[in-house]
């Protein structure tokens, strides 16, 4: 028998209405521990002198490099903007300096692959109407204490664009996420207004095809969740997170899925 969708009609209705859905206790404590322990091992083995790639949603055009492009099929490490001093040296241990690790954890690493390709993830995607879902990207996000950077308002379909649009974000909290340590914020029902702009890769690099709209911060609501909770994010939902100015990290594992049935990957992604 094939995989059957696991969302209730009420959950599906809520997702369709609000543009996001919180599923509590989606990951077990054992799964969380396994992913965190595995990432600890990766960080211990990582030599920070091999790259100085910095991840920024504000200045991605300027900072994008071949290292970033090639990370689509590798496990690559990206530093926080505020991790370095004026001389280019790390101001704190590497374990507290990394912004994220991506973007092929789900393909390469057995621990992350086991969760990413699990029946419950597949079942969730089938519940959302996917016919042939594929995980296209994965990221372990740290949101480091004190320096965890802001992620400006955006839509996932801007970056992972199929025709027709099919991107869905799956954001798993590996630690409690609060307004203090940089939880997600979203504008409910904003997905109903469609895609605002696209992030395009051309001959001269990457760029947005139009400026970002201005958003009223009072329209955003915080999505505070406990460790193990999964936030399902519509590809057109406008969401963001603020800097982590607390003394606690906010680890999360993020996946993006697209459908490969009746859809095509845009060549200028």
Predicted TM-score of the model (pTM): 0.93
CATH of the domain at 242: 2.60.120.620
pLDDT grade for 2, boundaries at 50, 70 and 90: low
Q: Is residue 62 included in any domain, yes or no? A: no
- Predicted confidence (pLDDT) per residue in 93-121, tens digit: 999 999 999 999 999 999 999 999 999 99
Nearest CA among 18, 117, 28, 137 for reference residue 74: 137
Q: Is residue 73 included in any domain, yes or no? A: no
Question: What is the length of the chain?
Answer: 269
Q: Is residue 37 included in any domain, yes or no? A: no
Name the helix (H) or strand (E) containing 120.
helix 119-127
- Predicted confidence (pLDDT) per residue in 64-81, tens digit: 456 777 788 999 998 888
Residue 150 structural domain: 9-29+101-265
Q: Is residue 133 included in any domain, yes or no? A: yes
Q: Is residue 132 included in any domain, yes or no? A: yes
Residues pairing with 199 in the sheet: 208
- Predicted confidence (pLDDT) per residue in 17-76, tens digit: 999 999 999 999 999 999 999 999 999 999 887 765 555 555 544 444 567 777 889 999
What pLDDT was estimated at residue 61?
Answer: 44
Q: Is residue 65 included in any domain, yes or no? A: no
What is the pLDDT averaged over residues 231-243? Answer: 98
CB 167 within 8 A of CB 257: yes
CB-based burial label for 125 (10 Å; 0-12, 13-18, 19+): buried
Distance CA(57)–CA(238), nearest Å, equals: 14
Q: Is residue 192 included in any domain, yes or no? A: yes
Q: How far is CA 59 from the centre of its chain?
A: 17
- Does pLDDT of 267 surpass 50? yes
What pLDDT was estimated at residue 89?
Answer: 83
pLDDT more than 70, % of the chain: 92
CB atoms within 10 A of CB 202: 9
Number of domains the chain contains: 1
What pLDDT was estimated at residue 60?
Answer: 45
């Amino acid at each position: 028998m094939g995989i059957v969708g696991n969302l209730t009609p009420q959950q599906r209705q809520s997702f369709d209405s609000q543009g996001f859905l919180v599923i509590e206790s989606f990951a077990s404590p054992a799964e969380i521990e396994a992913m965190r322990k595995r990432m600890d091992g990766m960080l211990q083995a990582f030599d920070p002198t091999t790259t100085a790639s910095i991840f920024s949603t504000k200045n991605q055009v300027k900072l994008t490099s071949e290292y970033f492009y090639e990370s689509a099929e590798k496990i690559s490490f990206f530093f926080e903007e505020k991790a370095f001093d004026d001389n280019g040296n790390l101001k704190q241990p590497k374990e507290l300096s990394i912004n994220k690790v991506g973007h092929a954890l789900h393909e390469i690493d057995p621990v992350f692959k086991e969760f990413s390709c699990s029946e419950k993830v597949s079942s969730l995607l089938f519940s959302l109407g996917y016919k042939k879902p594929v995980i296209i990207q994965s990221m372990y996000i740290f949101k480091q204490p004190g320096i965890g950077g802001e992620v400006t308002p955006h839509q996932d379909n801007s970056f992972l664009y199929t025709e027709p649009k099919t991107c869905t974000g799956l954001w798993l909290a590996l630690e409690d996420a609060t307004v203090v340590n940089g939880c997600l914020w979203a504008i409910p029902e904003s997905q109903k207004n469609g895609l605002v702009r696209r992030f395009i890769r051309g001959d001269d690099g990457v760029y947005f095809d139009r400026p970002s709209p201005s958003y009223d911060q009072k329209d955003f609501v915080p999505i505070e969740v406990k460790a193990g909770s999964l936030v399902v994010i519509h590809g057109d939902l406008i969401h963001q997170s603020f800097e982590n100015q607390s003394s606690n990290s906010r680890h999360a594992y993020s996946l993006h899925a697209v459908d490969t049935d009746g859809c095509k990957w845009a060549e200028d992604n």
